[in-house]
Structure 1
Amino acid sequence: MQRIILSIDGMTCSACSNGLEKYLNKQNGIYNASVNLVMANATIDYDEKILDIPKLETFVKKAGFKSLGEFKEIKFEAKSKNEKTKLIIFTILAIILMYISMGHMLNLPALPYLDPHKHVYPYMITLLLLTISFLIYGFDIIKNGYKNLIHNTPNMDTLVAIGVLTSFLYSLYNMYLVFKGNQNAIMNLYFESSAIVIYFIKLGRFIDGASKDKTKEAISKLVTITPTKATIKKEDTYKEVTLDEIKKGDIVICKAGEKITVDGEIIYGKAHFDDSFITGESKPINKTIGAKVLAGSLNYDGYIEYKAEKIGKDSTISEIVRLVIEASNTKSPISKVADKVSGIFVPIVILIAIITLILYLLITKDLSESLITFVTILVIACPCSLGLATPLAIVVSEGKCASEGILIKKSEILENVQKVDTIIFDKTGTLTYGKLKISKVINYSNLEDQKLLQLAASLEAKSSHPISKAFEGYMSENNVTQLEVSDFENIPGFGIKGKVENEEIMLGNSKLLDKYNIENNHAGDENVLSSNGNSIIYVIKNNEIIALIGACDIIRENVKNVIKELQEQDITTVILTGDNERAASKIAKELGITIVYSNVVPTEKAEVIKRLKEENKYIMMCGDGINDSPALSLSDIGVSIHGATDIAMDSSDVILTQNNLNSILKLINISKKTFKIIKQNLFWAFFYNLIMIPIAIGILKPIGITITPMIASLAMVFSSITVILNTLRLKKLK
């Protein structure tokens, strides 16, 4: 199975995106297609043995839209000077048209030779020519409406096209009657209705496009953070190249004040870097030979040379953007409901308009009034506001989350976060920094402490467990040489083993002793270490404990405040750790957490979550993203907290790149506010259509209240703008 994201041109409302999505999902060889109206793209999972990209683009064309090729960057509906100029010109023409057609009703002086009472023919021809210019201006709307109608996917453009052309053709017919001598037919000219409806739709789309661009600002900042040029070094020569010309393995230079162009590893020099756009670390980070640098990082004060490793779409920042875009292309449950409603909305409106037209003709026998009512109903209905209500809010929120270092893999997760009533935290690396330090060695062997630690540290160097960092720190601080290790084996949940200097050594927790039936006569020493908050590492040789090594950790900054605030929101907090009971209880007491599960291996963590879910708890699990993968996948929402370099391999639903649990509070707040906004948007969209369509039908005519097509188009634009402005309030969330 292959996945591609295609940029789509020509989508104007939710009926467009829904229609395209349905059409694509019907095609043989497409497993799943999801179309995003706001981002103007389609994510397609397809069988590469049956289909290729040109065939997929043909499907898009047959559905009435245009593929702009593979989605490579955020597409902005750039408001060119030409487009703005057109809008200004047609604004002036709209004012002139309204003055000519309606000025006499307000007793305004008529323009020379354009008085409908004295100069009938110049008056009509001027209105006709002005209206034709508006039809040309809005030809894309009429064309899209027609295409979608013949492809059985009618949309908002279809409603507008039918309404505008009906009004225009009826006016042409009455103009013909005037030429034939029926002067009364001049009262049935509605050229201005066709023109002004087009104008308001265009104006609305201009504003709508600018607003959509604002929703994508957070993502676009990530895209544009990487420089487009760099200097590469080949032997003793230097050459400035574009980003596309850099190849894996190239040596790239970066001077003070410049940004890193591609992910890589420093091979010469040192400097302080600002990685805050990904890690959230506000202080500059000192990096030297062997350290990884990320595309977009700012070099504060040094000169470095680094080897290019991840280029273009493989870079960390591109991976983040990909995740955010793919998440915005998934649909939350509430989005699916809104899509279903808006998908049947347009056909229902057309049916209502036709029934009303027939009834008006039967009751009033007035063709003019019947057609105007028909046009008004088509124009006033607004599937656009209904279709934008959810996806616009999702895109804004996911962009907001991305800017806060919160990466969400599926939109449904954003909806589900607000349901969480229990958050389970892994201890090491989550509640604590995971930067353990060797604090105590109790040595029962004949080896010197330094030699013992060298053996243990050499074996731990092969492990990815957070506790290995303690030994790594010890080796670095004491200039200890790493010994050769062979036959290394990881024993998940228990420890590790391997041969160091041809001696088999095992390191692990108390469960390792039970697994290999190793006798333990050191309870007193264990109590001393664990009572001081140490994690205990047992060093085993020849099936005997030869040492106990104590390692302690530091609680993350602000964790206590985060736990307190979660508890104030009636969210239960739990510690779930493989560490010993005393070390876990010490951390729990400091943080005010009363529920603790200790000495739990990864498979047992999943069992604990399963039991809690059986108690109808809605669970968020917060762990390291890799070692806790069984528990993360079983929980309702899995959250990992770590640096961003492993994003592609992460198994969780949410990734916190800023190594700060404050992000959990931000995520919950954004989730709650987002769905409050979505509910407001949907209420407004339904309320608007529920009220305005009956008024357009004429329910208030008995009391003298009627709506013309011009007012209808203005009301429709107002409805969409209301939804957009309400949604943009999410950008101000703190």
Structure 2
Amino acid sequence: MPRDTTQITLRYGVDNLHCGGCVGRAEAAMAAVPGVISAQVNLATKRAAITADAGFDAQAFAARLAAAGYPLHALDEQLVRVSVDNMTCGGCAARAETALRALPDVLEADVNLALKRADLRIAAGADWSVIADGMQKAGYPVTRIDAPSPATQPPDEAAPMRRAFLTALILSLPVVVLEMGGHLIPAFHHWQMQAFDPLALGIVKFLLTTAVLAGPGRVFFRLGIPALLRGAPEMNSLVVLGTTAAWGWSSVVTFAPALVPETGQYVYFEAAAVIVTLILLGRWLEAGARGRAGAAIRKLMALRPETATRIANGAEGEVALADLRRGDLIRLKPGGRVAVDGVVTDGESWIDEAMLTGEPVPVSKRQGDAVTAGTVNGTGTLVYRATAVGADTVLARIVAMVEDAQATRLPVQSLINRVTAIFVPVVLVIAALSAGAWLIWGPDPAKAVVIAVSVLIIACPCAMGLATPVSILAGTGRAAELGVLFRKGDALQGLGRVDLVAFDKTGTLTEGKPRVVAVHPVAPCDAHTLLGLAAGAEAASEHPLARAILAEAELRGITPATVTGFKAQTGAGVVVQIAGETLRLGSRAFLAGEGVEVPATDSSAATEVHLARGTVYLGHLALADPIKPDAARAVAALKARGVAVAMMSGDAEGPVDAVARELGIDTALARLSPADKRAQVIAWRKAGRRVAFVGDGINDAAVLAEADVGIALGTGTDVAIEAGDVVLVSGAPMGVLTAMEVSRRTLNNIVQNLVWAFGYNIALIPVAAGVLALFGGPFLNPMLAAGAMAASSVLVVLNALRLRKMRAQ
């Protein structure tokens, strides 16, 4: 299916914007220009983004805006994807995004914590070194990311975290045993006191804890201290302050106990060591879970082989995929994967296209058929000519779409980032005030250290920062495996709330390929003769109906009649000569205009092709567009969910009503142009309906853009990437149900994560601050605080991973 090119997106700078009223007037002026589908103006950036159809006149648009008092100027820009280092929590992501947007050449920046990357829109000709230097100074170095390649796998984040955790565990375990063992087993405490000098035990614990902080724990100091010096503390800063406070207090008690009141002569080496160990454990588990959540990209990238057998000058040889060029001949051996998109030139085989369509049944391929990179050959051998290579293949474009979907950010994420950006400074204030209050007024001033460390550790906003992106990562990744590609975050958020789904008919609910459903000869002509004559008349035609007639003749083993003098009248019929007589084939009106008397028929649900020899009527063929196998099930499932279903088509009332009756669709609108469809969607939306439109993405760009969610069907070997907010790769209507289920479950998962993350912090910060102790309750041990903080992030990620168990509807 050819890519839709009727819809374009343009961006402009807008002058004379001063307030919200200016924005409204500028948007109204833009929307009034013919060809403009939608317009959005941003007061902060003084820029506008418009979506327009093929009839858009840029000069008229500029003139209209100038007359309205809001002249335009061109924006030269480019899109860049970068990896962002040193991001470990939601506060980091918010500060990195703020730093990026503050750079002069950066027009927009969206940072994704789960993927540790950002999508930038920068001015054309921007000096990249300025951006890189600016982010280096901000503490979040960035590196440009090239287009994805199956040969380049993302780095394994889990392995170094695992090594750091195990090292910290080995060093921390003796400290915990020496300190806590005596509390659990009194006899062990007495043995320690008798066998070892207390100072010697203290020195051992000091050395081991220092090794933990200086070794596997140095990552926190490397990132946290510069953040503190910049006045932008984040999660690592909290760990540094907490562990340093515990380690420092314990060191003073060990080496200079006279400086500390007797009631406060307690050491917390084990707390400092275990805090680092538990946080590293959490990061290791989190990195592994994130890796599993992002498995969709790796699976897609692994589908393409690294080499292919190219045929050149009569010789065959293995070449790397990067060396293949469009037009190359490639041999596909039994069991091999298709290297690039192409068209079969020789051979026959069956190819498993499940990765593209989701259908488990292999598809027959012969000369002239298209093959897609990543699909698997059966037992035959094929030779095909490359039609798309590199980033132009369907597989590469799907990978890019999945990456974009996983990097998308829902509107709620912006609010979360603003909250987490101020959360860490607030926590520092709470820790200082709580520790100060206990130091001055508390019944046990020495507990001030415990309170300060516990508050600093428990309040890490990691879970809040991960709550949304990790769910999107897992949900969109699983959706891609099910053949549903989300292009926009708004679609992921909005699809679950849709209450009306409107389908296009041809190519969406039906196959889009007509076939002969009945042959009606008139005596003395019989069905065999009628079909043979019709096939002969259509043999030279490229019309879809002609191909359907020829296919039916071939299926029945009928040889087309030999005819001469082919003449076609567009939209009406054909005239040929056979055995000295004139044979006419076409519509009822065409034959009637040629003087042929055509009897009444009852095939309102089908397209009729009538045939006459001379003026003698021989009969007619009934052709119809078959309904897709899962269309009825999709409509029934939507209605069972309480979602209204409608159908809009440019076809005549007869075929439209027939399809509607068979599928159980109550609202079926016929003879609609694309503009009529868009107007109908506008009317539904004004009535308060949330509308999703499902179309093939070729002629329905305007209505796909107008709907709350536009769903494009990608069929054959070309995905309609630019047509809608969501792309159903297989073209099956049941994919709409799968997309809605992905949306619903992903949003529910995000809500669950946010409730847990915010609830965790709100509930435990007061406990860490010693509120319960005021009423005779317990203090929160810093080790338990570290464990709870690490567990919070891990639980958020594990909850998101449940989305990977979703199944196609």
TM-score by length of 2: 0.78
Structure 1 residues 138-177: aligned runs within 5 Å: 138-177=217-256
3-state SS of 2:339 partner: coil
- Give the distance between the partners of 1:15 and 1:526, measured in 2 at CA: 78
Q: Which amino acid aligns with 1:154?
A: P
Deviation at 1:554, TM superposition (A): 0.9
Residue 648 (structure 2) pairs with residue 576 (structure 1): yes
- Give the distance between the partners of 1:548 and 1:25, measured in 2 at CA: 68
* Bigger mean CA offset, 159-168 vs 708-717: 159-168
Q: 1:105 to 1:55 in 2, by over 3 A?
A: same
1:373-401 Cα deviation digits (max 9, x unpaired)? 11110101131111121111111110111
3-state SS of 1:278 partner: helix
Contact residue 436 and residue 552 of structure 1 kept, 8 A: yes
Match of 2:331 in 1: 253
- Give the distance between the partners of 1:42 and 1:483, measured in 2 at CA: 65
Residue-pair matches, total: 697
Match of 2:136 in 1: 61
Deviation at 1:713, TM superposition (A): 0.2
Contact residue 648 and residue 672 of structure 2 kept, 8 A: yes
Structure 1 residues 605-644: aligned runs within 5 Å: 605-643=677-715
- Give the distance between the partners of 1:624 and 1:115, measured in 2 at CA: 80
1:19-66 Cα deviation digits (max 9, x unpaired)? 2122112222222221222222211222232243x4444344233233
Deviation at 1:225, TM superposition (A): 1.4
Residue 218 (structure 2) pairs with residue 130 (structure 1): no
Structure 1 residues 384-403: aligned runs within 5 Å: 384-403=462-481
* Bigger mean CA offset, 93-102 vs 236-245: 236-245
- Give the distance between the partners of 1:379 and 1:124, measured in 2 at CA: 24
Contact residue 167 and residue 216 of structure 2 kept, 8 A: no
Gaps (5+ residues) in structure 2? 1-76, 522-532, 577-584, 612-618
- Give the distance between the partners of 1:240 and 1:385, measured in 2 at CA: 49
3-state SS of 1:339 partner: helix
Structure 1 residues 382-531: aligned runs within 5 Å: 382-437=460-515, 453=538, 457-458=541-542, 460=543, 470=548, 528=601, 530-531=603-604
Identity across matched positions, percent:
28
Contact residue 439 and residue 446 of structure 2 kept, 8 A: no
Deviation at 1:138, TM superposition (A): 1.3
Q: 1:219 to 1:649 in 2, by over 3 A?
A: closer
- 1:15 equivalent among 74, 81, 91: 91
- Give the distance between the partners of 2:448 and 2:664, measured in 1 at CA: 71
- 1:718 equivalent among 791, 794, 799: 791
Q: Which amino acid aligns with 1:88?
A: L
3-state SS of 1:247 partner: coil
- Give the distance between the partners of 1:656 and 1:484, measured in 2 at CA: 45
Q: Which amino acid aligns with 2:743?
A: S
Match of 1:730 in 2: 803
Deviation at 1:203, TM superposition (A): 0.5
Match of 1:543 in 2: none
Structure 1 residues 222-233: aligned runs within 5 Å: 222-233=300-311
Q: 1:105 to 1:413 in 2, by over 3 A?
A: same
3-state SS of 2:286 partner: helix
1:303-330 Cα deviation digits (max 9, x unpaired)? 1222333223322112111111112212
1:486-525 Cα deviation digits (max 9, x unpaired)? 9999xxxxx7999x9xxxxxx9999x99xxxxx9999x97
Deviation at 1:246, TM superposition (A): 2.9
Match of 2:763 in 1: 691
3-state SS of 2:272 partner: helix
Deviation at 1:366, TM superposition (A): 6.2
Deviation at 1:426, TM superposition (A): 0.8
3-state SS of 1:189 partner: coil
Q: 1:534 to 1:208 in 2, by over 3 A?
A: same
Contact residue 347 and residue 382 of structure 2 kept, 8 A: yes
Residue 109 (structure 2) pairs with residue 30 (structure 1): no
Q: Which amino acid aligns with 1:390?
A: T
- 2:628 equivalent among 556, 572, 578: 556
* Bigger mean CA offset, 233-242 vs 323-332: 233-242
Q: 1:665 to 1:468 in 2, by over 3 A?
A: farther
3-state SS of 1:703 partner: coil
- 1:706 equivalent among 759, 779, 782: 779
- Give the distance between the partners of 1:314 and 1:109, measured in 2 at CA: 73
Deviation at 1:10, TM superposition (A): 2.5
* Bigger mean CA offset, 109-118 vs 155-164: 109-118
- Give the distance between the partners of 1:379 and 1:667, measured in 2 at CA: 39
Contact residue 87 and residue 116 of structure 2 kept, 8 A: yes
- 2:664 equivalent among 575, 592, 597: 592
Deviation at 1:221, TM superposition (A): 1.2
- Give the distance between the partners of 1:32 and 1:496, measured in 2 at CA: 54
Match of 1:544 in 2: none
Q: 1:611 to 1:648 in 2, by over 3 A?
A: closer
3-state SS of 2:327 partner: coil
Contact residue 252 and residue 306 of structure 1 kept, 8 A: yes
3-state SS of 2:633 partner: helix
Q: 1:360 to 1:185 in 2, by over 3 A?
A: closer
Contact residue 454 and residue 480 of structure 1 kept, 8 A: no
- 1:316 equivalent among 380, 386, 394: 394
Match of 2:54 in 1: none
Q: 1:36 to 1:527 in 2, by over 3 A?
A: farther
Deviation at 1:436, TM superposition (A): 0.8
- Give the distance between the partners of 2:569 and 2:131, measured in 1 at CA: 48
Contact residue 181 and residue 189 of structure 2 kept, 8 A: no
Deviation at 1:98, TM superposition (A): 0.5
Deviation at 1:555, TM superposition (A): 1.0
- Give the distance between the partners of 1:93 and 1:153, measured in 2 at CA: 31
Deviation at 1:716, TM superposition (A): 0.8
The runs of 4+ residues in structure 1 deviating greater than 6 Å are: 111-114, 180-183, 440-443, 474-489, 495-498, 507-510, 519-522, 524-527, 536-539
1:563-588 Cα deviation digits (max 9, x unpaired)? 11211111111110011111111111
1:300-359 Cα deviation digits (max 9, x unpaired)? 111122233322332211211111111221211233333332232222212211222232
Q: 1:487 to 1:682 in 2, by over 3 A?
A: farther
- Give the distance between the partners of 2:153 and 2:732, measured in 1 at CA: 28
3-state SS of 2:326 partner: coil
- Give the distance between the partners of 1:231 and 1:526, measured in 2 at CA: 60
Deviation at 1:536, TM superposition (A): 6.4
Contact residue 200 and residue 717 of structure 1 kept, 8 A: yes
- Give the distance between the partners of 1:291 and 1:325, measured in 2 at CA: 29
Deviation at 1:707, TM superposition (A): 0.7
TM-score by length of 1: 0.86
Contact residue 535 and residue 560 of structure 2 kept, 8 A: no
- Give the distance between the partners of 2:599 and 2:688, measured in 1 at CA: 38
Q: 1:453 to 1:246 in 2, by over 3 A?
A: closer
Residue 704 (structure 2) pairs with residue 671 (structure 1): no
Q: 1:153 to 1:181 in 2, by over 3 A?
A: closer
Residue 385 (structure 2) pairs with residue 307 (structure 1): yes
3-state SS of 2:682 partner: helix
Q: Which amino acid aligns with 1:674?
A: T
- Give the distance between the partners of 1:134 and 1:147, measured in 2 at CA: 20
3-state SS of 2:256 partner: helix
1:638-680 Cα deviation digits (max 9, x unpaired)? 1122326433653111111112112111122222222222211
Deviation at 1:298, TM superposition (A): 0.7
3-state SS of 2:446 partner: helix
